[in-house]
Amino acid sequence: MPNYIDIEDNGRIRTIAINRADKRNALNADVVAELQQAFDAAEADDSVRVVVLTGRGGVFCAGADLAYLQQINENSVLENAEDSRQLMRLMYSIRTSTKATIARVNGHAIAGGCGLALTCDILVSVEDAKFGFTEVRIGFVPAIVMKLLMERSGMGVARELLIRGNLVDAAVAKEYRMVNHVVSEERLDETVTHIAREIATETSPQAVAMTKRLMRDVASRDIEDAMSLAYWQNAISRATPDFRTGVNSFLSKSKPDWK
């Protein structure tokens, strides 16, 4: 039974919430392990189409908690390498999930918490949330999150945020392309639910999974390699059961039943 996270299912939508509001949903090794188990379970569950990641209370995730930082400070290099590997594995699992993932940013997302948000496909934030990577202000390197930020915001924005270690509000984070939607606190659940239900009911699970993988594959290729890979993936997608279901439904003007 998880101690630090809550898991709720609403149809094909699974919400995973860090439940440490008294600690501002800060991360430690146990929270990372429980999140990993929860995302592994969601990935293996064919009934789950969308995973929403959030925090309880008024903060999304404030990064590492004080006791965790103290432990890290006392660890050996090998112990810290294993600890860092677990966080990397969690972020990689979310980033490469075949499910659509949504970060419901209900408050500040700082350091590792901001990294967790950026692993998701779509970020929806409340207006008063702040984002940033404060690691350099305590002599730490924002290493694992670096690629995530560079992918979303580009090198120029990443350089400033990672080197300054400052926080920006949600409107600036949207301008920096870190966030997709900024809404009032009253509209947060409505917006997240609308997007999640749309994906869960109106899109093909096979097509979403293949699209996500193809986007990762083409990102590091030049235009010729990317388009050569893309045409082949296009052909493969036409042989999937979901493609036949979707086309037949379109031609018959009926709603597809995505299995």
As annotated, the active-site residues are 135
Per the structure block, which two tokens stand in for 199?
């994906």
What are the E-state strand segments in the chain? 5-10, 13-18, 50-55, 59-61, 100-105, 108-110, 122-126, 130-132, 167-169, 181-183
The encoded tokens of residue 119 equal 């692993």
- In angstroms, what CA-CA distances link 79 with 71, 73, 121, 142? 10, 11, 31, 18
Nearest CA among 162, 77, 61 for reference residue 119: 61
End-to-end CA distance of the chain: 29
Structure tokens at 245: 């279901």
The span from the CA of 137 to the CA of 145, in Å, is 16
Spell out the residues 6+ positions from residue 221 whose beta carbon is closer than 8 angstroms to its own: 229
